[in-house]
Every structure is written in structure tokens, then in C-alpha cells.
Structure 1
Amino acid sequence: MKNIILLLALVLATVNTFAQDEIVVKGVVMNDANDDLLENVNIVNLNQVIGNVTNEKGEFAIRAAVNDTLYFSYLGFKSLRVRVTNDWLKFGDIKVKMTELGIALEEVVVRPVQLTGYVEIDTKLIPVYDNYRYRIAGLNTGYEGGGNQPGAVSKVLNSIFNPADFLYNVFGKRPKQMQKVKQMKEDDEIRNLLQSKYDRETLMAVLQLERVDIDEILNKCSYSKDFIYTANDLQILDAISNCYEEYKILNRQKR
């Protein structure tokens, strides 16, 4: 009898868990200053690593469970984190108000390359960016070494044969967070979001890393400074994913 009761309790708990995971929370996103509805606001569930965007009426719907954290981001507005509560589920739609930021853009001077028409001269005028990339047999991808070729080679070899303590501290001690990298790559909404962003905010929020940590991960994995500073967030996500996969391979071989 006790076994039957225990079995029923386990079944109910499992059903309850699945039901909780299937909850869809709804709301509307507005400008805090004037209550204007905000379209195309990006929403990411940091716990389940799924994303969505608001429609033309500022409305959104996304799967979430109680205590999940939703991350709202929108160009020109301060990013916002909202925790899903029982009250939200009880009373239905909520209004999420985002605060607008004042953005001062620095003047950018673009200097086009003036070509003369003479091949010998023009080849010297066109800038060359040497982001060398190296591939080592047995690994899934290569290493981007940067602008200094001899230093890049030694850096690659050093990364392979002597994995940095920093990578162990980030990857080895954060397996659950690193698992979210794969989930982010599989969610189309999140991929579309990251492809248009360069601020690393969403990556920082999901992976619980600081901007300096992300830069250091790529540096330890021998990506060039040009790549680190100019790549969009989706490219950075793919780079971190490749670095993590290679780290796991090398770590297994080392053990």
C-alpha cells in the first residue's frame, strides 16, 4: 500500500512539473515615459533559454514557470529583468514598462581608400587585416590567432597543451550555464536576436558572465582582437560554443 501511495505521489509530482513547464505567460510592453506600446521588444526566458518578441501592439506570450526570469531588451531602452510570480499567473496579463536611455553617438569619420588605377600602387593602399586562422587535426574547428603570426602559432599550441586555468574556472565550474549555449543556438528567436546585436547583454544575462569574461574566453581560445570587438553576438555565441566543445575534448584527453 505504501508503495502504491509513493508511486502515485511521484506521478502527480511529475505531471505537476510538466504542467508547470507548459504555462504561457502574457503581457504588454510599454514606454515608461508616455505609455507608448513597444513593438519588436526581445524577450528571453533566462531559465528555459527560449525567446520571443512583442507584436505591433506591444503584446507578448512566452512559456515560463513560476520563478523563471524574463529578460527584456530593446534598442535605446534600459534592459529589464522580470521574475514570473504566482500573482502574474493568477491575474493574467501584466504591463512591463521600459525606461528610455539617452544615447550620445560619437562622430565616426570614414576614410575611403583612394585608388590610383595602378595595380602596383593600389595593392599597397588597400588595408590588409591579418586574422590568421589555424586548424589542428582532431579538433572540430580552428583557432583564430590574430595579427601576429609567430605569436599566434605559439598561443594556439599553448592553449591546446596547457589549458588555461581561466577556462577551467569558467567552463569546468559552470556546466549548467555552458549547457545553455547549445539551447541558445537551437532557439530561432534567440539566434535572430543575437544576429542583430553587438552589446553582449543577452549573452551576459543568460550565461551569467561579465563582458570582460566573454572577451577573456575568446582571447584564451586565440580569437583575434578584431573578431572580439567587431563580431555580432551570434558569432560570439558560436565562438564560445566551439571553444567549449574543444575544451571538453582536450579535457577528456588530458584525463
Structure 2
Amino acid sequence: MRYLLILVLCFTAVNSYSQDSTATKTPSIVKGTITSSTTEGPLTEVNIVNINQVKGVATDDNGEFEISAKVNDTLHLSYIGYKSIKVRVTNDWLKFGNTEIVMTELALALEEVTVKQLKLTGYLEVDIKQVPITSNNRYRISGLYGQGYEAGKPNIATKVLGAIFNPADFLYNMFGKKPNEMHKLKKMKEDDEIRNQLAKRFDREMLLVLLQVNKFDLDEIVNQCNYSKDFINTANDLQILDAISECYEEYKVIKRSKDLKKGRKKGKA
């Protein structure tokens, strides 16, 4: 009888371990409700992104959401006017279902805005000289065909080509040393919810979190990919994503061609 009891306990322990191991490796549906610390009510349209799986959802009118995740995946939650937070998925969360997550409101201070008055005379030849002129070297709008126009700067292919042959180049370091992060670009473009979220945003926060770069590096990537400062300052997050993705695809094509040439030279030698 004692041996039978031991066998049952061993079987239970093995079965429990097997379930936990499976839960860790197999994506499950995580459910949650997001509320405000100020109003204690639900928050609608909160952006939730699984950083590991590159999946995105938004909360409904009741502040509820469901997203595919595995144990130890990290969810990034962001909402305008509230402090963004990261939440790790645990075994308990998967077992016990819906979890309430409270977000804290930010104290926002408006920056002083200076409005400059243009003194117009009514004469076109005179007034047109007062209008500030900005030069867009390259401008591409997401969803529209065409590559915009160039003005005095080398195109993307030339920039990327220079990066591959110069290991000290900024693009070489960013694209070559962050392959896992850059591979997320394709997943981000394929996820409709993430694209919809990025199209509404201009803060770059979601891009910074998913690509694991800081704001300076993100702007510099777009700049080195031959997009103008005007584009960097005015484009929404989806347009920035498309710009970096296009540049990275150019990088992969040119690098693949360079590696093939190297292989052929070694074969001949």
C-alpha cells in the first residue's frame, strides 16, 4: 500500500511538472482588465503588445483584453496620459485567468509655445520671402506607392552599400549586431493591430520597446537611411516602421550578394 502511494505521488509530481513545462513552451491566451488608479474605472483602447511574440491588442469598452502569450513573456502596456508599464506573464496568471492591472495617470505639464507673427504686405513677391522654406530630401507616406524624391543625398542602396563595406558604419552596427530585434520588423508589419496602433502614434515608444533601441539611435537609423529631418519629426510611428523596414530589406539583399561573392572567391581559391 505504501509503495502504491509513493507511485501515485510520483505520477502526480511528474504530471504537474509536465503541465508547467508545456505551459511555459506553448502559447496560451492571457486575459486581463486594465483600470485607472485615479477613477478606478476601466480604460478603453489601451495598447498591449507582447514584446516576445510581437503581437498586439487593445482593451475593449470594459477595459478587458485577451492576448496570446507564454510564461515569462513580457507585455508592454501604454495609454495616452498614463505611465507605461511592463508586465511579465506568470504560471499563476495562466492558471487563474483574468487579472486586474492598474495604470497610473501622469501629471502632464504643457510646454510654452511661441507663436511668431508673419507681417504680410499683400504683395506676393514680398510676402513669399517671409515664408520659411523646408527641404524634404526624401518623403514616403505609408500605403502609397512610389519612393518620393531625392535631393542631393545618396539613395538608400548607396547608403546601405557603404554600411556593409564599412564595419564602423552606424547602420552596419545597428543592423548587423541586432538581428533578432530587426527580424521583428516583419512581424510588426504583418500584425494588423500593431500597425493600427502605430498609425495613431507619434511618440515612438512602441518602436523603442520592440526594437530595443533608444530615441537617438532610432532617429539616427532613419536619418542614415536617407530620410529627411522633416520626415523624422512629422511622420507617424507606422511611417517610421515602414522606412526602417525598407532600409533593412535593402541591407539584407546587398549583404546576401556580398556573402555569395565571398563564397565564390573562396571556392576558386
Q: Aligning the two structures, in what range does the TM-score lie when normalised by the shorter sequence? A: 0.7 to 0.9
Question: 1:161 Cα shift?
Answer: 4.1
**Mapped contact 2:159–2:224 kept (Cα < 8 A):** yes
Who is 1:46 aligned against? Answer: 51
Who is 1:180 aligned against? Answer: 184
What does residue range 7-156 of structure 1 map to in structure 2 within 5 Å? 16=22, 20-21=26-27, 23-111=28-116, 118-133=123-138, 142=147, 149-150=151-152, 152-153=153-154
* Separation (CA, whole Å) in 1 of partners of 2:233 and 2:68: 33
- Residues 125-175 of structure 1 show CA distances to partners (whole Å, capped at 9, x for unaligned) of 4443211239xxxxx975876xxx54x24x868624421532222211222
Which consecutive unaligned segments of at least 5 residues does structure 2 have?
1-17, 140-144, 260-269
Q: Secondary structure at the match of 1:236?
A: helix
1:20 corresponds to which letter in structure 2? T
**Mapped contact 1:194–1:232 kept (Cα < 8 A):** yes
1:80 corresponds to which letter in structure 2? I
**Mapped contact 2:57–2:194 kept (Cα < 8 A):** yes
Q: What's the TM-score once normalised by structure 2's chain length?
A: 0.75
- Residues 43-83 of structure 1 show CA distances to partners (whole Å, capped at 9, x for unaligned) of 01111111111111111111111111111000011111111
**Mapped contact 2:49–2:75 kept (Cα < 8 A):** yes
* Separation (CA, whole Å) in 1 of partners of 2:217 and 2:157: 22
- Residues 172-226 of structure 1 show CA distances to partners (whole Å, capped at 9, x for unaligned) of 1222211111111111111111111111111111111111111111121121111
* Separation (CA, whole Å) in 2 of partners of 1:227 and 1:30: 36
In structure 2, the CA distance between the partners of 1:89 and 1:174, relative to structure 1 (3 Å rule), is same
* Separation (CA, whole Å) in 2 of partners of 1:173 and 1:117: 57
* Separation (CA, whole Å) in 2 of partners of 1:239 and 1:100: 32
What does residue range 181-220 of structure 1 map to in structure 2 within 5 Å? 181-220=185-224
What does residue range 148-167 of structure 1 map to in structure 2 within 5 Å? 149-150=151-152, 152-153=153-154, 159-163=159-163, 165-167=169-171
Who is 1:234 aligned against? Answer: 238
**Mapped contact 2:75–2:89 kept (Cα < 8 A):** yes
**Mapped contact 2:78–2:85 kept (Cα < 8 A):** yes
**Mapped contact 2:138–2:228 kept (Cα < 8 A):** no
**Mapped contact 2:25–2:71 kept (Cα < 8 A):** no
**Mapped contact 2:36–2:103 kept (Cα < 8 A):** yes
- Residues 97-126 of structure 1 show CA distances to partners (whole Å, capped at 9, x for unaligned) of 111111111133445767666544454344
* Separation (CA, whole Å) in 1 of partners of 2:93 and 2:156: 50
Which consecutive unaligned segments of at least 5 residues does structure 1 have?
1-11, 135-139
In structure 2, the CA distance between the partners of 1:28 and 1:160, relative to structure 1 (3 Å rule), is closer
**Mapped contact 2:156–2:247 kept (Cα < 8 A):** no
**Mapped contact 1:25–1:93 kept (Cα < 8 A):** yes
* Separation (CA, whole Å) in 2 of partners of 1:63 and 1:38: 20
**Mapped contact 1:143–1:156 kept (Cα < 8 A):** no
In structure 2, the CA distance between the partners of 1:249 and 1:229, relative to structure 1 (3 Å rule), is same
**Mapped contact 1:143–1:222 kept (Cα < 8 A):** no
